[in-house]
Structure 1
Amino acid sequence: MSVRKREWTTPKGVAKSAWVVDYNDTAGKRRLKTFGKKKDADAFAATAFVEVRDGVHVADSASITVAEAGKLWIATGEGEGLEQSTIDQRKRHVKYHIVPFIGGTLLSKLSVPAIRAFQDQLRETPYPDDFPKVSMRGKPRTAKMIGIVTTSLGAILSDALDRGVASRNPVSEMSRKHKGKARRQEKRNKRKLVVGVDIPTPAEISAFIKVLSGTWRAFFLTVIFSGLRSSEIRGLRWQDVDFVRGEIYVRQRVDQFRKAGPPKSEAGARTIPVPPIVINSLKEIKLKQGNGIDFVFANPDGEPRSHANIVLKGLQPAMIKADVTGATGKKDEKGNAIAAAKYTGLHALRHFYASWLINRKEDGGLGLPPKMVQERLGHSSIVMTMDVYGHLFPRADDGTELARAANILLA
């Protein structure tokens, strides 16, 4: 590998010069790369030398574009049998967030500064007019969304590395450099879940349950006292309910396309004990449903219900009926304020279940230790459980305990 200066004169008599890096790539093919400055040529030569030695160097002429790498990444996911919702998310990220900005860029041209510039473009450019979610069109991308898209770009580059069409992953390089700082910033900015705001209070849950009837009563009682995710309860089968032991077994989930598959993670496959009120309500549903239907909460066709049906037809109307509402800022024709469900998503009930597991027995909870809470929720790690719900666990250093300890010390 050599770096040499090349000088020549144009047909108009203008003297020109450049620095050329002359080297052989990993396949032994001779490559020439030209730079305007010697320091840039030297820097490239040093990097190329290491990459060639390690067998990972990819010349510009052998590189592919980010758009091409995105297609390969999507194909990899399809080959691995990922859920259709995950594949669709990959396609959206590539089509709407990545290709419009850096789709034509060669992977060999990407660098940490280039990734930073790409993030700036995302930040300054609103969602396009043809974005699938109409409510987002014309709105700016959030910092969270930019982070998610950057992660997808990093995954594209990682897949390209595995395929031998990229020599580096600047997203990973940037991530390693800023991971500690980003985590600290994220921790400072992350708001803790608040009872009465994000987590329904016991009084709100009691009022909610009182207005429920029929299948919806059994459905929401099961969610409230098992903490099942939407995909898990929609995939719940009668064979997963043990009426004798009073337990529910999480063995599968159903995605947004109503396709059944394994739980989200190994920890997602779990056994959850439930109180008699849940078992009795499920028995009533079983008697009405009859035989021949696999899913506990099937629609009239015997298939799993959709998430939208559960939220829009079951959860939110019942919240409004129970007067668990919040103001929308809108008024009807008579000038009266229009109320809306205070908790609009099914995950609020999962949050309540977690708080019920954590709360002291004297406060109406189960008082379970963190590890058991993790297992009941199906979290993959105790870190996840403590990050989300750690602040709900009772403190051992409350006023009563402090007073007792001080009295013993000073006795």
Structure 2
Amino acid sequence: YSMKYLNNMLTLLSTVLNTAIEWGDLTSAPTVKKLKPGIQKPKRYYTVEEATAIIQNADGYWGVFFHIVFWYGLRSSEARALCWEDIDEANGEMTIRHNFSDGVFTTPKGSEAKPIALLESTLKLLKTLKREGDFIFMHGGKHLTRGKLKWPLVRACRKAGVEFKGYHAFRHGLGTALGAVTSACVISEALRQSDSKVAQNYIHISKSVQAEALQKVARKAAL
């Protein structure tokens, strides 16, 4: 569990104990102290150059999968749940509507489903895929399971000469790259963060601003 979650539980426990004292059910209660973060390891991420090399060295449709996961900061569970109906080719948009985890479809983390402006290179890559069903990414005519994810990325990393850092390193990589060209508010919106700072809840970033920030990073990679 995250530090934030554990501290929220400790706060709830403290409230329950204090309420019990007020109601006379307890005469005293122990002091509940919040946890303090220790020394945190730096987040591992793929640079734009590393992500590009991984995409170029991927087998089959995995290059498209890695491309979408990196350039749009998708969690792997969100990418596996992508359907063709989520792609609006006419308007050049993609909408993240679902999350597929542990065999269950749920709504994705963050705010409500909103369209994301797609890069021209993404639209071209999507056209290269064969439609096997409702989902964009399938394996043997079936839904792509979590167990199929690791080794295609491991192989692509080896061929590209890039250290394997897992899927979440794509998301951290995009956030780091965007951080060099735009504000934290745009990054929070682009990554669809559900726990952004309170002040950012009152800032609404337009789709065009998100698209411009993404285009800046894409130009660096010559996409």
Which structure dedicates a bigger proportion of its chain to strand?
1
Q: Which residue of 1 aligns with 2:192?
A: 378
Alignment of 1:105-124 (within 5 A): none
Which residue in the other structure is 2:146 paired with? 307
2:176 aligned partner: 355
Q: Which of 219, 226, 241 is the aligned partner of 2:65?
A: 219
In the aligned structure 2, how far is the partner of 1:273 from the partner of 1:348?
A: 22
TM-score w.r.t. the length of structure 2 is 0.71
Return the structure number with greater relative CO, CA threshold 8 A, min gap 6.
2
Letter paired with 2:108: P
Structure 2, unaligned runs of 5 or more: 20-24, 201-223
- In the other structure, the counterpart of 2:40 is 190
The one-letter code of the counterpart of 1:189 is: I
Name the amino acid aligned to 1:252: H
Structure 1 residue 245 and structure 2 residue 84: aligned? Answer: no
Unaligned ranges ≥5, structure 1: 1-88, 90-143, 162-166, 326-341, 360-366, 387-411
Q: Secondary structure at the match of 1:280?
A: helix
Aligned-partner SS, 1:218: helix
Aligned-partner Cα distance in 2 for 1:189–1:380:
24
Contact 2:109 2:193 in 1 (8 A): no
Counterpart of 2:179, as a letter, is: I
What's the secondary structure of 1:272's corresponding residue?
strand
> Which is higher, the Rg of structure 1 or of structure 2?
1
Hey, what does 2:136 align to over in structure 1? 296
| TM-fit CA distance, 1:348 | 0.5
Contact kept, 8 Å, 2:80 with 2:137, in 1: the verdict is yes
Structure 2: distance between partners of 1:321 and 1:272: 31
Secondary structure at 2:149's aligned position in 1? helix
Residue of structure 2 equivalent to 1:23: none
Say which structure is richer in helix.
Answer: 1
Q: Which residue of 2 aligns with 1:26?
A: none
Aligned CA distance change for structure 1 residues 151 and 381 (closer, same or farther; 3 Å):
closer
Which runs of 4 or more aligned residues in structure 1 lie more than 3 Å from their structure 2 counterparts after TM superposition?
Answer: none
Conservation of the 8 A alpha-carbon contact between 2:59 and 2:156 = no
The verdict on how the C-alpha distance between 1:289 and 1:174 changes in structure 2, with shifts beyond 3 A counting, is farther
Asked whether the equivalents of residues 47 and 177 of structure 2 are also in contact (C-alpha less than 8 Å), the reply is no
Contact 1:268–1:379 under 8 Å retained in 2? no
Structure 2: distance between partners of 1:174 and 1:308: 44
1:264 paired to 2:106: no
Deviation at 1:260, TM superposition (A): 1.2
- Do the aligned partners of residues 383 and 232 (structure 1) sit closer, same or farther apart at CA in structure 2, a change above 3 Å counting? same
Paired residue type of 1:264: K
TM-score (norm 1): 0.40
Shift of 1:174: 4.7
Distance between the aligned counterparts of 2:146 and 2:114, measured in 1? 22
Q: How has the CA–CA distance of structure 1 residues 151 and 308 changed in structure 2, closer, same or farther, with 3 Å as cutoff? A: farther
Q: How does 1:304-343 map to 2 (within 5 A)?
A: 305-312=144-151, 314-325=152-163, 342-343=164-165
**Alignment RMSD, CA only?**
3.3
Q: Deviations over 1:91-131 (max 9, x none)?
A: xxxxxxxxxxxxxxxxxxxxxxxxxxxxxxxxxxxxxxxxx
